[in-house]
């Protein structure tokens, strides 16, 4: 119960009521603080642990905006998160850091910390197209390819066409990812670009510029495409 309250950012005072429901009639502020410190130690140990179950062939990078209390004020911070596939084929949370801004400096420091802890063998990084993140990936993981998140890119592309045309464009783009092999994917991309060029040249140019990063997944086995073409699990 205390761990859940800790994760939700519940104040010491508000912990007392749920504690009473569990039969704990006396829970002082110092007791709650001591338990929170114990949890802090576990979180710190997890965040600083060696990354020794690699190589980590695939890494997903993302940032979540969270509200925190700092100096008596509520402010937004960015939780930088990396998830990787380890040598056993299982997903593993590699790291978590908090930055005041989602900029290149924050991502660069975060990725360097993962490498210092043992991140190796990265073949593909999946993320959105945040410029600071993409630059940091290139600077710290020069041997890795970059997969532009399919889900985020689709939203970018739809912003290039009238709202009335968005369902058609979304369906058209989806057909690229429904192909059985790399050659078919490339051929369908050409077909989609031609179709867009005829009606929405601006959108066609947008997709043409992004296609190589959007199709990076095709360099890997077909059976894992659905897992690596997006950082959004709902899109697989």
Of 195 and 18, which is predicted with more confidence?
195
Which pLDDT band holds residue 95 (cuts at 50, 70, 90)? very high
Give residue for tokens 């709902």. Answer: 234
**11, two tokens:** 């104040």
Which alpha helices (DSSP H) does 49-181 contain, by range? 104-116, 131-140, 150-158, 166-176
pLDDT in tens, 116-145: 999 999 999 999 999 999 999 999 999 999
Number of neighbours of residue 29 by Cβ within 10 angstroms: 12
Write down all domains in the chain, each with its CATH number in brackets.
2-48 (no CATH), 58-147 (3.30.420.10), 150-235 (no CATH)
pLDDT in tens, 225-235: 999 999 875 44
Q: In angstroms, how far is CA 201 from the centroid of its own chain?
A: 31
pLDDT of residue 102: 81
For the entire predicted model, the pTM comes to: 0.84
Tell me if 111 sits within 8 A of 191, measured CB to CB: no
Closest alpha carbon to 110 in 70, 130, 138, 137 = 137
DSSP 223: G
pLDDT of residue 1: 63
Q: Give the span between the Cα atoms of 198 and 236, in whole angstroms.
A: 30
DSSP 203: H
Of 66 and 212, which is predicted with more confidence?
212
pLDDT of residue 10: 65
Q: Give the span between the Cα atoms of 38 and 41, in whole angstroms.
A: 5
pLDDT in tens, 159-198: 999 999 999 999 999 999 999 999 999 999 999 999 999 9
């Amino acid at each position: 119960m205390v761990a859940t309250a800790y994760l939700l950012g519940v104040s010491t005072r508000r912990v007392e009521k749920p504690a009473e429901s569990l039969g704990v009639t006396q829970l002082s502020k110092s007791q709650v603080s001591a338990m929170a410190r114990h949890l802090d130690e576990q979180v710190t140990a997890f965040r600083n642990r060696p990354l020794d179950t690699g190589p980590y062939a695939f890494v997903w990078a993302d940032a979540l905006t969270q509200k925190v209390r700092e100096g008596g004020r509520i402010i937004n911070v960015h939780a930088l998160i990396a998830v990787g596939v380890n040598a056993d084929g299982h997903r593993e949370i590699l790291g978590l850091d908090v930055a005041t801004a989602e900029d290149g400096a924050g991502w660069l420091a975060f990725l360097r910390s993962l490498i210092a802890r043992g991140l190796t063998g990265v073949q593909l990084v999946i993320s959105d197209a945040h410029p600071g993140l993409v630059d940091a990936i290139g600077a710290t993981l020069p041997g890795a390819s970059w997969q532009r998140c399919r889900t985020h890119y689709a939203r970018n592309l739809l912003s290039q066409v009238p709202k009335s045309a968005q369902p058609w464009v979304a369906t058209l783009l989806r057909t690229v990812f429904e192909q059985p092999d790399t050659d078919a994917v490339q051929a369908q991309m050409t077909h989609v670009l031609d179709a867009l060029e005829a009606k929405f040249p601006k959108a066609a140019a947008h997709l043409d510029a992004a296609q190589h990063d959007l199709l990076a997944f095709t360099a890997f086995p077909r059976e894992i495409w659905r897992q690596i073409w997006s950082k959004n699990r709902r899109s697989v």
